[in-house]
Amino acid sequence: MSAIRDTQTKDGWRLRAADSNDIDGLHALAASPLVYRYLFDGAPPDKEYITRRVAQSVANAGETGLGMWFLEDVSTRYAGCVELRPYPSSRSAELTYLLDPCNWGQGLALRMAWTAITHTFLSSQIDSVIAGTDLANAASLAVMRRLGMRFHKDVQYPLGAGVEYVMHRDDVGLLPKPVLISLG
């Protein structure tokens, strides 16, 4: 049970847990060139890949409390997506997020990520959250820094050089804290 549950935030946004009916919605969101530019190795993901990611997320949610959530309001069902899934290091989760370009510049990626991280740290199974980005993805790098994440390591992605940032359970994180988006 999440302490973040509510019906919706005052601005109308909420994060809804993914289920098997979300494959087409996530596939459509991820197929936008501005969205997949730095994700999915720079190409639109195929539907089979999306199907596997959603299925893995639904399974993880039942086992670990990690999962995938969709940002929505009364008029938009797939405004964005945030996911926490197991990371290769013990007791760690990988954070990924994507947002429909029409919602960029509103702080929603930051709020989605912060809500998911806060939710995950309510569980005793995860002690750190790791996020990565290509160096050219200045917006995602800014989100990680604004979250209060710290540099973890340099990495090499299919599109080139990248970095990973990390936040541990006992880190202070972002100050002031962003408004959480209710999880439902």
Task: Give the span between the Cα atoms of 89 and 150, in whole angstroms.
Answer: 17
At residue 139, does pLDDT exceed 70? yes
pTM across the whole model: 0.90
Q: Write down the mean pLDDT value for the chain.
A: 90
Please report the domains of the chain, with CATH numbers, ordered by start residue: 14-183 (3.40.630.30)
Please report, as a single letter, which amino acid is at residue 69: W
Q: What is the pLDDT of residue 9?
A: 56
Contacts of 8 (CB under 8 A, 6+ apart): 14, 73, 182, 184
